[in-house]
Amino acid sequence: MKCLSVKEIASILQIAVAVLCLPAVLLFSMVISFPDDMKLFMYQCSLTTTMVLCLIFGCSTWFYNSNYPKTRLHVRILIVIVLWIMFVLGVATAVLFDLQYSGELIYGLFEPDMFDTIDLVFLYIGMILGALAHLILLIVNIILTVGVIRRGRK
């Protein structure tokens, strides 16, 4: 049996990020509808964009291969830059969202009886899934950045 290469492990981790982003977005949409909270909507957009890009980039390992080394390097650089941008955007929107919904701040914008316990559980599970997705994305970004730097030196 053949061992997976680092590139394939990074691709599997990208697909795992996409799999974690989807339930987080779905849980958030079950609690608060779109026009009620723009910070939640920004966080959902960030997670959804990260999900789609991670699926595309994760599957590109098996479905896209260029015969030209310079083109492969440029594609890798593009993937690294886009994933770092999505990581920073995701962390920024997550911090804005978590600050709004942590502790007593949740009742600054909404009525206290608007959320029942299941809604709060959905919010916190979605936050945990989003944080886990961003942590895995950070690991993938570090792996890919080191790989691109090594390839660029050759």
* Stated pTM of the model: 0.84
Among 78, 86, 75, 81, CA closest to 133: 86
Q: Would you state the pLDDT for residue 111?
A: 56
Q: Would you state the pLDDT for residue 105?
A: 52
> What string of pLDDT tens digits covers the 154 residues of the chain?
688 888 888 999 999 999 999 999 998 888 877 666 777 888 889 999 999 999 999 998 888 777 788 888 888 899 999 999 999 999 998 888 777 766 555 545 555 556 677 877 888 888 889 999 999 999 999 999 998 898 877 6
Collapsing DSSP states into helix, strand and coil, what is residue 150?
A: helix
Scanning the structure block, which residue is given the tokens 């570090």? 142
| Rounded Cα gap, residues 142 and 9, in angstroms | 13
Q: Are 47 and 21 in contact (CB under 8 A)?
A: yes
